[in-house]
Amino acid sequence: MEKPSQASQPPTTSKATKGAKGAKGAKGRAPAADIGFVGMLRWAWRQLTTMRAALILLLVLALAAIPGSLLPQRNQDPGAVSTFIEENGSWGEFLDTVQLFDVYTSVWFSAVYILLMVSLVGCIIPRTKHHFQAMRQAPPKAPRRLTRMSAYRTTPLATGAQQRTAEELLETAHEQLKKSGYRTVRNEDHIAAERGYLKETGNLVFHVSILATVIIMAMGGLFGYSGQRVLVEGDTFSHSLVSYDSFEPGTFFDANSLPEFRLTLDDLETRFDDEATGAQFGQPRQFDADVTLNTPEEETSFVLRPNEPVRVEGSNIYLIGNGYAPVITARNANGDVTYSGPVVFLPQDGVYTSTGVVKVPDASPDQLGFGGVLLPTTGRNDSGELISTFAELRNPLLVMDAYRGDLGLDSGAPQSVYQLESDSMEQLVGDDGQPFQMVMQPGDTAELPDGHGSVTFEEIRKYAALDVHHDPVQVWMLPFMALLFGGLSLTLFVARRRVWVRVSGDQVEIAGLARGEDPRVDEAVEELTQVLSLESLEPESADPDADSAPNRSGK
């Protein structure tokens, strides 16, 4: 592409000049009032497809992407968004109204990138046309005054001792240029040559690849799905919509297309660093899930790890998280079991201080709910409070409060399994008048006050948090990324230049014009001059600064 800023170069690439013209228009004047609707559209289109518009849109895009990193986002952490809105009252609601918690799907963010894509299309099409024509045309004839070009040399055609004709010289020049990969044309008194068409080709390929990337991303969202499932050791996940904890289908997702399989978590091995010092102490070192996969065809066992997903018929299964699930049994006053099973507790920090709740709707006389904290390795901090000191299960302790009343499960409103709606519940109080609290090690049983029965903390099992994803168009990313890199490298590192060799009188003129970034244009012309010079003669125009200048840079 032409560098419009280098004013000395003759305008040759229509896009650049058109862009510059449009840009001037943008600065200068609004559309005249009488151009009508179509004229208006045409004007807007011209504005949008200028380089200047692309540049502004890029800068706006960068700015528009930032708020998503400063505020919690619904797609990442909906819980944090609700908390934020609650804590910030009307300010939070205002931010929500302007979609600052859904930045990347917001109207304004979409508007920016869609405009950019439209601008891109409006840019690519005419440039492709123009480039196609340029590739079929001969290199343009030499301008009248070659001295104006960015590199210029002369060398004598003949001297008394050595004679050659213009014809001979041009022949040599022609061959030499061809050999160096130039496209050449022989004109009456000169050779015109051009090289580096791949620069523009690369540029177009690069921009098309960007467009393709955005389209593939959008399609992935439409046709794919993703789901989450927490799986406790020993449990099996039968792949179907109902067995997901949460599921986000794309717009055109077809539920019948879910592949059929069952996945059993046999064992989860986790290990943390108990030797390192400072911030490295307690860091995770190993998460290995032994799983068994049953598809209609076969049964396989393997280890599922971070960074090592399992791919089953286009669906990918990832080990995303892990934690502890205390197994709790609740009994009523008669000793009948009202609840029994593992309860998933969510780790809150690096030492796996975990919180969770147990809901016992079948308890009598009232429904019961327990909220608790699990400490995998119990210790005390400086002020004597119980804390966890390490993530592995070395000295676990479960501390729970108990609530009675209405769990609110019948109201139909969706509830988190990790939270008690304790507003309509009442905390149980012990004999001493203090809130009742159970402090249990595995195997312990606590009697609840007021005939509410008992709670047994049986054991602790580990669980794995799994993500399942399906994106049918994802594979297309690979070729387009390859094209994107190829195109980008070509456009940035191929030099496009024109060279002319002309015989005028008894002089040979050799001139080069860089088209875009070209650090070697002068060198190339110099080399050609060496080849074309009569052996014994120095090129006349050897750079006069060459001797004194190098140290300028160091001084």
The residues of the shown chain that bind ligand HEM, judged by CB under 6 A, are 1, 15, 49-51, 54, 116, 119-120, 123, 203, 207, 210, 491-492, 516
Among the residue ranges 327-335, 397-405, 455-463, 479-487, the one whose residues contact another protein (CB under 8 A): 479-487
Q: Of all helices (H) and strands (E), which one includes residue 497?
A: strand 496-504
List the interface residues with another protein, window 514-533 (CB under 8 A): 516-517, 519, 522
What values do phi and psi take at 290, rounded to 5? -85, 120
Radius of gyration of the chain (CA): 37
Query: Does 51 interact with another protein (rule: CB under 8 A)?
Result: yes
Query: Does 471 interact with another protein (rule: CB under 8 A)?
Result: yes
**Alpha-carbon gap, residue 122 to 116, rounded angstroms:** 10
* 319 versus 368: smaller Cβ distance to another protein: 319
* 54 versus 170: smaller Cβ distance to ligand HEM: 54
Among the residue ranges 54-62, 176-184, 384-392, 527-535, the one whose residues contact another protein (CB under 8 A): 54-62
Query: Does 279 interact with another protein (rule: CB under 8 A)?
Result: yes
Out of ligand HEM, another protein, none, what residue 103 binds, judged by CB under 5 to 8 A for its kind, is: another protein
The neighbour count for residue 341, using CB atoms within 10 Å, is 14
Out of another protein, ligand HEM, none, what residue 273 binds, judged by CB under 5 to 8 A for its kind, is: another protein
Report in angstroms how near the CB of residue 200 gets to another protein at its nearest.
13
Query: Does 320 interact with another protein (rule: CB under 8 A)?
Result: yes
The CB-side HSE value for 497 (13 A sphere, CA atoms) comes to 24
**Alpha-carbon gap, residue 133 to 113, rounded angstroms:** 30
Contacts of 52 (CB under 8 A, 6+ apart): 19, 22, 23, 26
List the interface residues with another protein, window 216-275 (CB under 8 A): 217, 226, 273, 275
Q: Which of 18, 19, 291, 360 binds another protein (CB under 8 A)?
A: 19
Q: Which residue has the tokens 């700015």?
A: 63
Out of ligand HEM, another protein, none, what residue 120 binds, judged by CB under 5 to 8 A for its kind, is: ligand HEM
Out of ligand HEM, another protein, none, what residue 207 binds, judged by CB under 5 to 8 A for its kind, is: ligand HEM
Among the residue ranges 139-147, 328-336, 351-359, 538-546, the one whose residues contact another protein (CB under 8 A): 538-546
**Alpha-carbon gap, residue 200 to 127, rounded angstroms:** 9
- The four Cα atoms 397, 402, 408, 409 give a dihedral, to 10 degrees, of 40
Report in angstroms how near the CB of residue 439 gets to another protein at its nearest.
32
Out of ligand HEM, another protein, none, what residue 287 binds, judged by CB under 5 to 8 A for its kind, is: another protein
Out of another protein, ligand HEM, none, what residue 123 binds, judged by CB under 5 to 8 A for its kind, is: ligand HEM
- Asked whether 405 and 424 are in contact (CB, 8 A), the reply is yes
Which x/- pattern over 149-188 shows residues binding another protein (rule: CB under 8 A)?
A: ----------------------------------------
- Asked whether 185 and 480 are in contact (CB, 8 A), the reply is no
Report in angstroms how near the CB of residue 223 gets to another protein at its nearest.
14
* 21 versus 380: smaller Cβ distance to another protein: 21
**Alpha-carbon gap, residue 408 to 413, rounded angstroms:** 8
Out of ligand HEM, another protein, none, what residue 119 binds, judged by CB under 5 to 8 A for its kind, is: ligand HEM
- What is the number of helices (H) and of strands (E) in the chain? 10, 24
User: Judged by CB under 8 A, how many residues of this single chain contact another protein?
Assistant: 78
Query: Does 306 interact with another protein (rule: CB under 8 A)?
Result: yes
Which residue lies nearest ligand HEM, judged by its C-beta? Answer: 123
CA distances from 427 to 328, 338, 359, 407, 436 (A): 19, 19, 14, 12, 8
* 15 versus 498: smaller Cβ distance to ligand HEM: 15
Out of ligand HEM, another protein, none, what residue 316 binds, judged by CB under 5 to 8 A for its kind, is: another protein
Which x/- pattern over 395-424 shows residues binding another protein (rule: CB under 8 A)?
A: ------------------------------
* 109 versus 390: smaller Cβ distance to ligand HEM: 109
Q: Of all helices (H) and strands (E), which one includes residue 195?
A: strand 190-195
**Alpha-carbon gap, residue 185 to 89, rounded angstroms:** 74
CA distances from 375 to 259, 272, 384, 427, 460 (A): 39, 15, 15, 22, 11
**Alpha-carbon gap, residue 525 to 543, rounded angstroms:** 12
Which x/- pattern over 490-509 shows residues binding another protein (rule: CB under 8 A)?
A: --xx----------------
Query: Does 90 interact with another protein (rule: CB under 8 A)?
Result: no
For 305-396, list the strands marked E by DSSP: 310-312, 315-331, 337-342, 346-347, 354-360, 367-375, 378-380, 386-388
Query: Edge-to-edge, what's the strand order for the sheet holding 183-186?
Result: 151-156, 507-515, 496-504, 190-195, 183-186
* 374 versus 521: smaller Cβ distance to ligand HEM: 521
Among the residue ranges 69-77, 124-132, 237-245, 325-333, the one whose residues contact another protein (CB under 8 A): 69-77
The alpha carbon dihedral of 95, 101, 106, 109 has a sign of: positive
**Alpha-carbon gap, residue 239 to 252, rounded angstroms:** 19
